[in-house]
Amino acid sequence: MHFEVHSLHAEQKPLLKQLAQSRAQVLSLAQEGKLEITQFQELTATEAALAAKLHLWPLDPGEHLLAAHAYARPYLERLVQHDPTHLVLVDTEHSYTPRKILRRILDHALDHLNQIDQWLAWQRQGIIPIPTDGWATSAETLPEDLQSLSTVELQAWLWRIDLVVSLVAQRTQQLSMGELDWTPPDGGWSLRQVLHHLALAEVFYAVWMDEALPEEPLARYSEANSRFTQRLCQVSTALAQEQGVLFGPSSTTVTMQQLSEFVLTEERILTGEHALHP
């Protein structure tokens, strides 16, 4: 498969070559039936998730939330065009429908809005947060997730999502650098990481109905890997112009090199395990 590389700087072109070589090895072993199917599916899901979120974003978490919502909203507006009962597979545990996407985005934002004050109380007063449990996880598909979605209902959902994203962004702007970067005693994420994660997650949820992957495993991996590589090429020029930053799996800033190395490492682990256990 050919990718445009003219926009890549000289030091970045070897990344594309390494990714292509690794991709070829993964596909070869998969075609021969030599890869464990669960691990192969996990690799595909990882690369698909990275590709979905691989854009340049503002470094400020509040601005990132607003930019991500602006990017995701056209996808959300098109949800009424999709079959409300069709479950789009993301990985072995997660699938989405139009209503489920809306539910997850709203619940996720509300949960993290609540987390801001819980983290501040933890930081200032040592009050350990009480986990919230009033929402269903991404792995759960509720009966209402399979119901039809009208344009009027969609607009009501979007009004609520617009509002909560705005509230989280406003609350974020009130936080000091110390409050954003404080790490809880249990080793969990700082609020800065949590907020970047929230922004990235909305994009991840929003795109799946429009950008579903093929169901056949080899085609699914191939498409996920291709999207990741294409996105790397697309962000290269903008990165050179300092138009934003990239975020990695831990919702912290990364370079193109680091993001590529993460994917290469995951693929080497999979293909390397086969080399050790033929």
Please give the average per-residue pLDDT across 23-37, as a whole number. Answer: 89
What is the pLDDT, as a whole number, of residue 24? 93
What is the pLDDT, as a whole number, of residue 7? 46
Please give the average per-residue pLDDT across 121-147, as a whole number. Answer: 89
What is the pLDDT, as a whole number, of residue 3? 38
Using 50, 70 and 90 to split pLDDT, how confident is the model at 273?
low
Least confident segment among 9-13, 167-171, 243-247, 260-264: 9-13
pTM of the model: 0.92
Report pLDDT digits (tens) over 244-261. Answer: 999 999 999 999 899 999
Using 50, 70 and 90 to split pLDDT, how confident is the model at 274?
low
Q: What one-character-per-residue DSSP string does 76-105 give?
A: HHTGGGS-TT--EE-SSS-EE-HHHHHHHH
Report pLDDT digits (tens) over 80-121. Answer: 999 999 999 998 889 999 999 999 999 999 999 999 999 999
What contacts 127, CB < 8 A, 6 or more positions away?
A: 118, 121
What is the pLDDT, as a whole number, of residue 43? 93
Report pLDDT digits (tens) over 169-209. Answer: 999 999 999 999 999 998 899 999 999 999 999 999 999 99
Using 50, 70 and 90 to split pLDDT, how confident is the model at 10?
low
Calculate Rg over the CA atoms of the chain: 20
Q: Is the dihedral of CA 265, 271, 275, 277 positive or negative?
A: positive
DSSP conformation class of 110: H
Q: Do the beta carbons of residue 8 and residue 17 sit within 8 Å?
A: no
- Is pLDDT above 50 for 6? no
Q: Do the beta carbons of residue 149 and residue 84 sit within 8 Å?
A: yes
Comparing 132 with 70, the larger pLDDT belongs to: 70
What is the pLDDT, as a whole number, of residue 189? 95
What is the pLDDT, as a whole number, of residue 135? 77
Mean predicted lDDT score pLDDT of the chain: 90
